[in-house]
Amino acid sequence: MSNNLQDRTLALAGVLQATELVRQAAWHGTWSGYAATASLDSLFHLEADTVDSVYGDRKRMRLGLETLISVLQGDQSSNDALRYAIALLQIERRFQGNKTLQSKVGQGLDDIARAAKEQSEETAEDFKAERVAVLYTETISQLQPRIVVNGRPQYLKIDRLVNWVRSLLLSGLRSAVLWDQLGGGRMELMFGRRKLLEQARHLLQS
């Protein structure tokens, strides 16, 4: 897998797509299903040959690219998505240093993928989200910093919504790992913002 700027930008958009979906769910009780499917599916493409194939189709990353552009432009409306993304990038470093946890997550995702094949097309996605949420609770939620999701209490009490929030956070971590594997890092976020912004705009128009 290459480590060019386009791929790193797409991986970073993957992080922000997941966290923007978490924000939508927590505050509005609903979320973009098209984008959420791309994020959830990325968890089950761990051996993909290209970054595009991780997400299935670049067009499914529109929300992530839009959110990345918003963040890089300093738009305050993206503050929650940015806060969750920063936390995931911090957690990613701890996750990468814990081989036991990596193995448990990888095996858990394999088990979920196999079990989901026995579900109907109508129930498979929510089934995967529910199982991934359990996996997240048993593994990633133990790492620091703990991500506290802000939102409306009436929505954060809905089991299906909470399952999707947790599964989206794990998918955001998957994109954070990809960003790191492609050579992304803190220095690029600090000093390469203009190039990332240009590339995100290009990807959005392509």
Q: What is the pLDDT of residue 146?
A: 92
Its domain, for residue 112, covers 5-205
pLDDT per position as a tens digit, 69-86: 999 999 999 999 999 999
Task: Read off the pLDDT of each residue in 5-29 and give the average, rounded to a whole number.
Answer: 97
Number of structural domains the chain divides into: 1
Q: Residue 102 contacts by C-beta under 8 Å, 6 or more apart in sequence?
A: 95, 96
Q: What is the pLDDT of residue 47?
A: 85
pLDDT per position as a tens digit, 90-128: 999 999 999 999 999 999 999 999 999 999 989 999 999
Examine the pLDDT at 1 and tell me if it is beyond 70.
no
| Paired tokens of 172 | 């955001």
What is the pTM for the complete model shown?
Answer: 0.96
Q: Tell me, what CATH number does 132's domain have?
A: 1.10.3890.10
Lowest mean pLDDT among 36-40, 55-59, 130-134: 55-59
pLDDT per position as a tens digit, 180-196: 999 999 889 988 999 99
Rounded Cα distance, 91 and 85, in Å: 10
Q: What is the pLDDT of residue 48?
A: 86
pLDDT per position as a tens digit, 149-159: 999 999 999 99
Sign of CA dihedral 175, 141, 20, 131: positive
Of 104 and 46, more confident: 104
Exposed, middle or buried: residue 157 (CB in 10 Å: 0-12, 13-18, 19+)?
exposed
Q: What is the pLDDT of residue 3?
A: 61
